Amino acid sequence: MKKTLAIILAAMLLIGCLTGCSSDEKTIVVGYTIYEPMNYFDENGKLVGYDTELAEAVFGNLGYKVIFKEIEWSAKYTDLSSGNINCIWNGFTCNTADDDGVMRADKVDFSYNYMENRQVVVVKNNSNIKSAADLKGKSGAAESGSAGESYAQSFEGVTVKGFLKQTDCLMEVKSGTASFAVLDAQLAKSYCGKGDYADLQIVDALSSDVEYYAIGFEKGSELTANVNAQLEKLGADGTIAALAEKYGVANTAISDFSDQK
């Protein structure tokens, strides 16, 4: 009787595993920060955005279920090397060096450039900051570990404090605890002059040279080439153009990658 019961239980466990315990579904963890229009929550609490949907399209085609994990931007390399995330996909500027002087491309493998960006200086509408000379002696805010922080520190005579999120920097300027903030143009254009930030503006004359966003992977990762192939496919079939139009980044999104091969 015990032998028969054991056989039945073993069979039940086997059937259970065949039907529910095992799965061919692969998962991939994408590291992001809240950054409209790239990754943000809509009015229903759903994570949306250009990077969000593009990541889902790319990895969906590769057979992955995407898990989005919010990270602290200053810890992005540690999260990647430790396996906490599998890639950094969140307006990651690739053609710049970090504060340690090391180029980011020497730390991670980057995908194709998929969007243009600039660092911009944000001030209050009534600010007298119009040029780099006007920044001397002023206090600024920037996201810790970001290209914006490096750019802010390049201005002579400024004091720059790092914050967890770019949106925190906007609040510093709005409250008057910082005279200016340096942010990604994509984010700044989504917030400045609107809603709670109607009293903030971008000083166009202080914008950086063009930068590029790319997706960051561990050095030697096979994902880099596979993702590049999908970016080419989604650029050719119009998916990228449609997403760029949807999220208002049609003038900066890149859909032709032929010159990056």
Sorted by where each begins, the domain ranges of the chain are: 26-115+212-260, 119-206
Annotate 128-151 with DSSP letters as a single string.
Answer: ---SGGGGTT-EEEEETTSHHHHH
Output helix, strand, coil percentages for the chain, rounded to the nearest 5: 40, 25, 35
**Per-residue pLDDT for 10 more than 80?**
no
Q: What is the pLDDT of residue 226?
A: 98
The model's pLDDT over 87-135, given as tens digits with 9 standing for 90+, comes to: 999 999 999 999 899 999 999 999 999 999 999 999 999 999 999 999 9
Q: Give the span between the Cα atoms of 88 and 192, in whole angstroms.
A: 26
pTM for the full model? 0.81
Percent of the chain scored above 90 by pLDDT? 89
**Per-residue pLDDT for 241 more than 50?**
yes
Q: What is the pLDDT of residue 35?
A: 87
To the question of domain 119-206 being in CATH 3.40.190.10, the answer is yes
Mean pLDDT of 159-182: 97
Q: Do residues 113 and 213 touch, judged by C-beta distance below 8 A?
A: yes
pLDDT band, residue 2 (cuts 50/70/90): very low
**Per-residue pLDDT for 18 more than 70?**
no
Tell the CATH topology of 26-115+212-260: D-Maltodextrin-Binding Protein; domain 2 (3.40.190)
With b meaning 16 or more CB within 10 Å and e meaning fewer, what string describes 158-197? bebbbbebbbebbbbbbeeebbbbbbbbbbbbbbbeeeeb
Q: Check if 26-115+212-260 and 119-206 are the same fold.
A: yes
Q: Label residue 8 exposed, middle or buried (CB < 10 Å: 0-12, 13-18, 19+).
A: exposed
Mean pLDDT of 21-26: 63
**Per-residue pLDDT for 20 more than 60?**
no
pLDDT band, residue 14 (cuts 50/70/90): very low
